[in-house]
Amino acid sequence: MKHLITIADLSADEVWQILNLARELKEEWRKGGNKPILKGKTLGMIFQKPSLRTRVSFEMGMIHLGGQALYLSPDEIKLGARESVPDVARVLSRYVDGIMARVFAHNDIQELAAYSRVPVINGLSDYSHPCQALADIFTIWEKRGKLKGVKLAYVGDGNNVATSLLFAATKVGMNIALASPAGYELDDDVVKLGQEFAARSGSEIELVRDPAAAVRGAEVIYTDVWTSMGQEEETEKRLKVFPPYQVNAALVAQARPEVMVMHCLPAHRGQEITDQVADGPNSVLFDQAENRLHAQKAILALLLGYD
């Protein structure tokens, strides 16, 4: 691994390297703290979008590993407006040991990586959210004890989170069903890549309209907001389309009794997920959020100098 841009770029072995190291680092942290393996290292963090989990988990991850993080707000950088993306990459990579960026356009992440001297981590783009999906499958592995053959049902918008979940699941042999309304499915090129990975790992992919069909036999139900940042002008339209895709008690009852419910947060409670489910016995939302910290520590360790 030189950068983390999308899970599609990773081999199955690299995915498992991240998961195994995340488990080791989490256990080490719980026993008293992590070794300062990134002492003297600094992560530059570029934000075009606001964040709770991404900022805090990366910043605390660097602190846990003995390094430090530098937050760069949207107004400070104005990526691609005040200064070109290649120039930001050229300059920033002479100051820091790694760059994490949370952006709108995926091309900005690709350009940062192309012109940076140091590793670049995609903290979120409109195409991909790899750190989230790696934390998600780490959580499933931790709770279920396996990934191969586990069925994950994703219900909702075919967005960047759904893309990364498809890639992650099919890299490690999970089965995945995706239920989205017409016009809001994953792009064909994303599905094609997922099918290629599934052919190697033995994963099964189902693309359906009916959420009930997707969750049948599922061990994990996953949802996300109906309207992502940058799509605000579509809010009213989406509020009319997506209500049948709400993850509620009736839908959860159609999956396995022990099904885990996941959401990458922030949640619009009462829209894509109900309070009853989000706070119910099947919910692992906050364990999942915690594991962003540990999965990202593994990514940081591997990219910024772990031996």
Q: Reduce the DSSP state of residue 55 to 3 states and report it.
A: helix
Whether the CB-CB separation of 186 and 180 falls below 8 Å is answered with yes
pLDDT at 263: 98
Q: Mind listing the pLDDT tens digit of every residue in the chain (307 residues)? A: 799 999 999 999 999 999 999 999 999 999 999 999 999 999 999 999 889 999 999 999 999 999 999 999 988 887 877 889 999 999 999 999 999 999 999 999 999 999 999 999 999 999 999 999 999 999 999 999 999 999 999 999 999 999 999 999 999 999 999 999 999 999 999 999 999 999 999 999 999 999 999 999 999 999 999 988 777 888 999 999 999 999 999 999 999 999 999 999 999 999 999 999 999 999 999 999 999 999 999 999 999 985 5
Q: Of 64, 129, 263, 294, which is the active-site residue?
A: 129
Q: Give the start-to-end residue ranges of the domains of the chain.
A: 7-129+292-303, 132-288
Cα dist. 145→53, 138, 149, 150 in Å? 25, 10, 12, 10
Q: Of 3, 238, 292, 294, which is the active-site residue?
A: 292
CATH of domain 7-129+292-303: 3.40.50.1370
Q: Verify whether residue 292 is a known catalytic residue.
A: yes
CATH superfamily of 132-288: Aspartate/ornithine carbamoyltransferase (3.40.50.1370)
Q: Of 64, 246, 264, 296, which is the active-site residue?
A: 264
Please give the DSSP secondary-structure letter assigned to residue 92.
Answer: H
Q: Verify whether residue 132 is a known catalytic residue.
A: yes
Q: Verify whether residue 224 is a known catalytic residue.
A: yes
Q: How many CB atoms lie within 10 A of CB 258?
A: 10
Q: Of 48, 110, 132, 246, which is the active-site residue?
A: 132
- Are both 7-129+292-303 and 132-288 of the same fold? yes
pLDDT at 207: 98
Cα dist. 184→10, 129, 133, 155, 191 in Å? 26, 17, 20, 11, 13
pLDDT at 229: 72
Which residue, among 203, 200, 192, has the nearest Cα to 163 in the 3D structure?
192
Q: Of 157, 224, 246, 263, which is the active-site residue?
A: 224
Classify the phi-psi angles of 183: left when phi > 0, otherwise alpha if psi is within -120 to 50, otherwise beta. left
